Structure formats: C-alpha cells, structure tokens
Amino acid sequence: MSNVPFDQLDGEIWYNGTFVPWKDAKIHVLTHGLHYASAVFEGERAYGGAVFKLREHTERLIESGKLLGFTIPYSADEIDAATNELLVRQGFSDAYVRPIAFRGSEMMGVAAQKNRINVAIAIWQWPSYFDPEQRMRGIRLDLAEYRRPDPRTAPSKAKATGLYMICTISKHAAEAKGYADALMLDWRGQVAEATGANVFFVKDGAIHTPIPDCFLDGITRRTVIDLAKRRGLVVHERAIMPEDLSTFTECFLCGTAAEVTPVSEIAEWRFTPGEITRRLVEDYGHEVMPKRVAAE
C-alpha cells in the first residue's frame, strides 16, 4: 500500500446518500463524534467483487448505533446497496470496506440528542494486516497494559470507536518493542482478545477461545468456529487465564483485517503454528473466496 494519506486517496465515498469525490468527504472540527466518540463502524473485506458477510456487518452497524443511543437513518438494504455500488465505482475486486455512522455538529456537549446521524462508506485496497512474510511463521504479541473493561462500564457489544482507544495505545506500545500486536486481558485478568482480532488456542487437538462477554463476538470469529466444527474439531468457549497459555501448543488470531493469522509468541509464552492452524487458514481462504483459492 502507498504512503499517500488516507484523505488524499482517489475515488469516491458514499456520504449521507450521495457519492462524493474522496477529497470532499469532510466533517467539521466540532463534530460530536470526534470529541465524544459517538460513532460506530464496521471493518469488512471484499473478495472477488463481493463483500464477505455484508448483511451481518450491516446489521451489527445498525445495532451498534442503537447501543450508543441513536438510529442510523438508512435501512440495511440501503446500506448494502450503497456498499455494492461503491465497490463497483471504485473498480476494486479485493478491498477493505469501512462504513461509519456518527453524530454531527448541531450540538456540542455531552448531550447531543438533536445531532444529525451521518453515515459514510469508504472502500480502499488494503493488503494483509500483518507482514505477509512473517505472518505464516507466526506473529509475536506483547501483553497489553490496558484491559477490556467490565461490560457494566461500557457498551462492549457495540463496535464503537471509543472502545478502540486502548487498542491503539496497546498496539503502539507493542510495536515500539518490536512486537506485531498485543494480547489484552479483561478486567478480571482473563484472556480477552488482541487489539483488533479475536484469539484462539489449540490443545490436544481441540480449540479453546475466550467467551466474548466483554468484547465483540466477531463475525470472523463465528466463521472460524463454524469452519472448525465442520472439520469435526471440538471448540471450547471458556474462561482462559494467562497461566493457561503454557498448556497450549498453537495460537492464532482472526478478524476481518487479520483474517486467520498464526501466532508464535505472546510475551513469555511460545507456540508453533501447526496443522490445525494451517487448516483453518486454508479453510477461511476457501470460505471467503472459493473460486480464487481453487484457481491458485
């Protein structure tokens, strides 16, 4: 990917029902979503000209808005249609898709009941989230300082921008020490997720993954669980403590951006990407883009 700033890319962005030139898709500096994180978003990928599980993402976007106390002024059908048309207009086959909904600038303050709910969709080309050469060898994760909060303190089921502040801090800190990402615990000290992906472990041929009770039950996460079960693998959704990590032999992350990415190290714990991880990397590739994978 080029080093061109994101506000200077070419093409169009769908913004409040209209396709506008990329550079003209702007907001005011006093937009409520910027000051108070009253915004929700999605991360989606298109493969072979089709967005993977588009409706599931759109429905989650709408539900996330409700959890933040606002109604997105477009139906799921309208958002899906806009996404599909924008993908064609951008001329991409494989791409990243970012819809976002946010409160505007009509009121400035914590309360903003009268603010317009703006909706935008941008699509750009984005390669592997992690270094492709390092990815299949397994990426290295640090242990994050910040923890996923108690769901009684934040709308953890929403894909809300404010919940990602500690993710950015944690990923920056990890990268500064030479790691690719960071593993986050939750407020109880249990293993939760990486900064932008869910985490899975393998032990004695079975898969173990944290219960998503204070972080997103990712769409890719659910897809991977389904793929594992199709292979007859046992999947345990359970509480996992840091001391349990020494009992696992394999580890991988999954998410729309990360897809399925093997992990070789989390702080002091080591893993070897093995057969189950490799199978799920391949199975996910077939699931999102059967024709392309078959051709390769």
Could you tell me the sign of the dihedral formed by the alpha carbons of 290, 55, 224, 169, in that order? positive
Confidence of residue 289 (pLDDT cuts 50, 70, 90): confident
Chain segment 27-69, per-residue pLDDT in tens: 999 999 999 999 999 999 999 999 999 999 999 999 999 999 9
3-state secondary structure of 167: helix
Q: Which domains does the chain have, with CATH numbers?
A: 6-124 (3.30.470.10), 132-295 (3.20.10.10)
pLDDT of residue 134: 67
Using alpha carbons, list the distances in angstroms from residue 250 to 21, 107, 132, 265.
45, 50, 19, 10
pLDDT mean over 85-104: 97
Does the pLDDT at position 2 exceed 70?
A: no
pLDDT above 80 for 291:
no
pLDDT at 106 over 80: yes
- CA atoms within 13 Å, Cβ hemisphere of 160: 21
pLDDT for the residue 131 = 63
Amino acid 295: pLDDT? 39
For the stretch 138-176, pLDDT in tens is: 999 999 999 999 999 999 999 999 999 999 999 999 999
CA proximity to 222, closest of 191, 200, 248: 200
The catalytically annotated residue of 159, 171, 203, 229 is 159
Which residue is it, tokens 């002091």? 268
Q: What is the pLDDT of residues 119-143, one digit of tens each?
A: 999 999 987 666 656 667 899 999 9
pTM: 0.93
In the chain, the percentage of residues whose pLDDT exceeds 90 is: 92
Q: Comparing C-alpha atoms, which of 259, 141, 145, 148 is closest to residue 213?
A: 148
Burial of 127 per CB tally in 10 Å (0-12, 13-18, 19+): exposed
Q: Is the pLDDT of residue 275 over 80?
A: yes
- Decide if pLDDT at 1 tops 60: no
Answer yes or no: 157 catalytic.
Answer: no
The answer, yes or no, to whether residue 214 has pLDDT greater than 60, is: yes
Mean pLDDT for the chain overall: 94
Quick one: pLDDT at residue 294?
A: 42
Can you tell me which residue has the tokens 């914590």?
A: 110
At residue 70, does pLDDT exceed 60? yes
- 1-38 exposure pattern, b = at least 16 Cβ within 10 A, e = fewer: eeeeeeeebebbbbbeeeeeebeebeeeeebbbbebbb
Kind and range of the H or E run holding 184: strand 181-185
Cβ–Cβ under 8 Å, residues 22 and 9: yes
Q: Can you give the pLDDT at residue 90?
A: 97
The candidate with the shortest Cα–Cα distance to 49, out of 99, 10, 97, 9, is 97
Percent of residues in the chain assigned helix, strand, coil, to nearest 5: 35, 25, 40
